Structure 1
Amino acid sequence: MGLIESTCKTIHVGCRQKHLRWSKNERPVLTISSGDVVTFDTVDSSNGQIGKESDSSVINSFKTELADPAFGPVFIRDAEPGDALKIEILALETADWGWTAIMPGFGLLADEFPDPALKVWRLEPGSSCAQFKEGVHVPLRPFLGIMGVAPGLDGDFSTIPPTDAGGNIDCRDLTVGSTLYLPVQVPGALFSCGDGHAAQGHGEVCGTAIETPMKATLRLTVCKDHPWVTSPHFQTAPRAYPKSVVADKGRYAAMGIDADLLEAAKKAARNLIRWLVATKGLSRSEAYMLASVAGDIQVVEAVDINYAVTMGLPLNIFV
């Protein structure tokens, strides 16, 4: 697809303008000027393999190599290595549905959850929450899991793991009003995005969030001579509490302690799942998925030989 020249205005990248690799040789679908606003229509992270009517049988034929498409890339004039690309997140609009799944062989506790599971969510327009099951409502906090620029290295790289150039960073703080800075590694930056999430906990422990198609509106600006930006940096907007927000009821957290940080994280997630099963009437698979979309994993102690990691949930999701 050829380059589309533009002046300073709102420009569009469609849902068919996608790729499954990070490469400085990926041909741009759009050329813009610094400060232009671009809208992106993205499909979900399954790349259309999972739909509104799907059940867990679809996971048996799921092709990982088709997952996590990125939409773009966009060439930004005057962007050069040593600069930073500033991405202002202006608007995010989810579809009216989403999905969360347990994929065999994937996730923090993959060895303990060998069977596939799928939850298809209904996302009501204008609603601040989505129902997980009767009595469990998860606050919606849309963001893009993938925002990245082309790497400076030669070769083709998967869109699944994050890198210093961004990509599949799955940072739930990058919602509307936040600003992301990425290190420009090639001329034009070659920015792409995708992987819409309606909600996710810190850690995304089962491997998926509430995955959903999304329309994103972003402003892309070149920040000249920012050599200190060598990995993704971001700034969040001041927190605003809408009238519909559910009252804070505190959090419940389980701790994992181990000399290995990954093992400590696994223990924390495992212990929270045990609590959910024991006290909230959830199956282990339900508890794992709920922890992934609404739970936060945090390192609370890192200096006394063993690591202490917690995984917690806000208690106001239980209504």
Structure 2
Amino acid sequence: MGPAGSEPVCPDRRHRPPAGRGRRAVCRRDAQCRPQYTSRRHAGIRRHSRETGSRHLVRPLNDGHDFVFQLGGHAPRLSVRPGEQFTVFTEDCFSGKLTSVDGKPRKVAPYPKVNPLVGPIAVEGIRAGDIMAIRLHRLEPARDWGVATISPNFGFLSGTRASPNLQREQEERVWIWRLSPDRTQLTTRTSSGRTLSASYRPFHGTLGVAPAHGEVRLGVVPGDFGGNFDIPDLREGATLYLRANVDGGHIYIGDGHYAQGDGEIAGTAVEGAFFTTLSAEKAVPDESFDWPRLETESHIGVIGCARPLDDAARIAVAGLVRWVARRAGLDTMDAHQLVSQTCSLRVGNVVNPAFTALCSVPKAVLSP
């Protein structure tokens, strides 16, 4: 989609979204309006240089590239060097099309055209079988608002095809959450006029690589290849370890979240767009590696993906015991005991095709 500046702004104010939404209405030659991104997406984002005190333009690596909705099945569209920091623009799960409480989520983003992803991004020198370290350096909101929804037949408290019930379904509803100028709080209005608030806690719901054996997986699916974890620990400063299944690894990233509780129980987080800076490189080989590993400044953890939820938890716990044994120099039984007494077990999502769980321990307990 091209820059909006090349076409006139629609004179009908009814077609213009409230200020700050990062979009404006433009008209086709037939005078029918359509929403389009502002030029900011295409021009990049201006950042301050600590060294020179000046501001410089950072153009997203994926500028001019379409999003995809699946992991795997694509030739690499972008390429980076090992350890090189690069910035991409990621859309929200509705492709930026749900901008009003009157919007219809399933019309603007019909399944499976949800959860648009940037990628695949090839990393030079990565070979199939290598362990990749993908680090999130910076998550900068691309808009000052995010969107959340509740939809029929989707969410932890809704009946689905796999878990039906005879109760009346919840109605479809949309909330627009506004980000405070200091980027600490989100607020939204209820249908009765009350204000709800939540802390701004940005993270990426989806980060993964091309699946093994030539498989193609939808962007809403998590697995041992990464994907749609919806785990809030995948935040700025975190490193995700994944095994490359193809040469280059083929990274996919998207599904930015401005806030989310454990489980993503209503079906969505506060979905938002980001300018995300990340890097990727080959990690130290480890024969005990099996499922995705997550490292932050204070914790290490393993992510399990499965249904039922206890299987996802078991995968995460078993993987962490093996990692702790190797990292702390313990035998399996001692590592099992240490994890049992010090771990946190966090639910990522309970709404996707596979549920996710993160088992983690503080790094401090690994020291002798």
SS at match of 1:171: coil
Give yes or no for contact 2:101–2:173 (8 Å, CA) kept in 1.
no
Shift of 1:137: 2.0
Does 2:250 correspond to 1:190? yes
Give yes or no for contact 1:86–1:220 (8 Å, CA) kept in 2.
yes
SS at match of 2:112: helix
Does 2:97 correspond to 1:49? yes
Aligned match of 1:35: 83
Q: After the TM superposition, which residues 1-319 of structure 1 pair with which residues of structure 2 at under 5 Å, given as runs?
A: 12-14=61-63, 16-23=65-72, 25-51=73-99, 53-59=100-106, 62-94=109-141, 95-111=143-159, 113-133=169-189, 134=194, 136-238=196-298
Distance 1:126 1:260, change over 3 A: closer
Shift of 1:20: 1.3
Higher Rg:
2
Shift of 1:48: 3.0
> CA–CA distance in 1 between the matches of 2:135 and 2:309?
37
> CA–CA distance in 1 between the matches of 2:101 and 2:347?
33
Higher relative contact order (CA 8 A, sep 6+): 1
> CA–CA distance in 2 between the matches of 1:164 and 1:197?
21
- Provide Cα deviations, 1:210-268, integer angstroms capped at 9, x if missing partner: 001111000111115334332211012249xxxxxxxxxxxxxxxxxxx9969xxxxxx
The TM-score normalised by the length of structure 2 is 0.59
Distance 1:297 1:116, change over 3 A: farther
Aligned match of 2:341: none
Distance 1:60 1:21, change over 3 A: closer
SS at match of 1:153: helix
The TM-score normalised by the length of structure 1 is 0.67
Distance 1:297 1:119, change over 3 A: farther
Shift of 1:47: 1.7
Distance 1:175 1:260, change over 3 A: closer
Identity %: 29
> CA–CA distance in 1 between the matches of 2:226 and 2:181?
30
Q: RMSD across aligned C-alpha pairs, in angstroms?
A: 2.8
